[in-house]
Structure 1
């Protein structure tokens, strides 16, 4: 089959098509992604977002020493590697075998051994109440049509009171073109248009799908899964940070938020 990109745009697709595309896309693009961003992310650093907010400074997970921590949509498990050095018992999960293979290569070069499990975030292979903390930095949630199922699974595996922290593209960004320069400063579509961004092959197969949720959607999905929202962090663009990452960069970052980090805890 020819997986060359033929069409891209905002349109509705069947949930199973859109939700099933992430594994193949990340398998195919893991090497290119890490070649482009690996120096910024590092093999064992915990970077929340393109703005460069790091867990060592933000402490959004709290004190992780001795805690069991689940990383959802871990990519090459850079954050889990950092957490292990900080004293946590971290387990990294990702739907993409290609990204986890890259993580294994990092471990081989470093002489480390990071627990990694290939799993769909909507079907986590762990026992109930087995983790103290869970998090994801741009993993899983943007790539499924049913993010509520991810929240429900995380709630199931978290102990009562456990933190669930996740970073996503700031919802307001979806009203603007994905342009890091001045072309990305004029709204071009409705913030309330929830059709996903979809890339297709010539035969109509969905190669990539990314889903928009408003701030209200995120809150409703969280509370529906039994979480309490403690904080919403909107990292500002740091002075002197010149790196462009997709639609993120200093021009647009000076005026518009690029990332939203939800800090929540399981009720009860």
Structure 2
């Protein structure tokens, strides 16, 4: 299925859905921003440990690009730790709130948020090769039709030797949903690989189970692990690290239980991995034109 990356129903529907989620998420306890207001971080433990491993000396002087940043809480966590950052998101209300929060925290000189579809990033943020870190986590590529262009965009922004830090739900985990399996486990509902999106009508929101989203139609894609890794390699990046984890920072299925620090995992047996983590690096010198 061919999709126009710059626009169309998929983008309009997904953006309307996320625009409506912004006030829901701001009012929810799921997105508690009090740690930011005290100068701290809301990063989940997987991402927090991953970034610390990349920059053991800290983030002072590190320049970060955060695509699909929502209203910037993770971005501002990195800024609170010393980085300067640019956040990018396609939702106007999310970007407005992110810039407002940066001003409230007094970090607007080091945190800037830009509204754009990821595939239009280079039109609104023409800064090639200027970031030490591209950081993107949790609920990102599943909203994108083309991970090859996603990877090329990341590679375009990284400095020589710069790194991508990526964590997201495991594509295998997105094959399953609900509680219709044996013992209340999730059941198989979506194919692991298909040509085209799943077009869903789901008014539920992970941050507030009592809210019904009016703009409920979304277009979502499962990108198998080999597709993601191949896209990154084909963009010129080198895979430095790949890991699978058995926890995610939201209740991915009804059967998953709190595992501490906002994470959810299996109650007993590790039935399948729930998340993936990738670190990839740009060449240490730019390619010869």
User: Is 243-252 or 135-144 further displaced after alignment?
Assistant: 243-252
Instruction: Give me the whole-angstrom Cα distance separating, in 2, the residues matched to 1:221 and 1:180.
Output: 34
Task: Give the drift of 1:59.
Answer: 1.9
Q: Which of these residues, 6, 13, 16, is aligned with residue 24 of structure 1?
A: 16
Considering Cα pairs closer than 8 Å and 6+ residues apart, tell me whether 1 or 2 has the greater RCO.
1
Task: Give the drift of 1:267.
Answer: 3.0
Q: Secondary structure at the match of 1:229?
A: strand
Q: Secondary structure at the match of 1:116?
A: strand
Residue 9 of structure 1: aligned partner:
none
Residue 245 of structure 1: aligned partner:
251
Instruction: Give me the whole-angstrom Cα distance separating, in 1, the residues matched to 2:50 and 2:153.
Output: 28
The answer to whether the 8 A contact 1:46-1:54 is kept is no
Change over 3 Å in CA distance of 1:180–1:119 after alignment to 2: farther
Q: Which of these residues, 220, 235, 255, is aligned with residue 210 of structure 1?
A: 220
Name stretches of at least 5 consecutive residues in structure 2 with no aligned partner: 203-214, 259-263, 285-289
Q: Which of these residues, 61, 64, 68, is aligned with residue 66 of structure 1?
A: 61
Q: Deviations over 1:84-116 (max 9, x none)?
A: 222211111111111122223433543442311
Instruction: Give me the whole-angstrom Cα distance separating, in 2, the residues matched to 1:183 and 1:28.
Output: 31
The answer to whether the 8 A contact 1:69-1:91 is kept is yes
Query: Aligned Cα RMSD in Å?
Result: 3.2
What is the TM-score when the length of structure 1 is the normalising length?
0.78
Name stretches of at least 5 consecutive residues in structure 1 with no aligned partner: 1-11
Aligned residues: 247
Q: Which of these residues, 41, 46, 51, is aligned with residue 45 of structure 1?
A: 41
Alignment of 1:150-189 (within 5 A): 150-179=150-179, 182-189=183-190
Instruction: Give me the whole-angstrom Cα distance separating, in 2, the residues matched to 1:107 and 1:263.
Output: 27
The answer to whether the 8 A contact 1:176-1:189 is kept is yes
What is the TM-score when the length of structure 2 is the normalising length?
0.73
Q: Which of these residues, 116, 119, 122, is aligned with residue 116 of structure 2?
A: 119
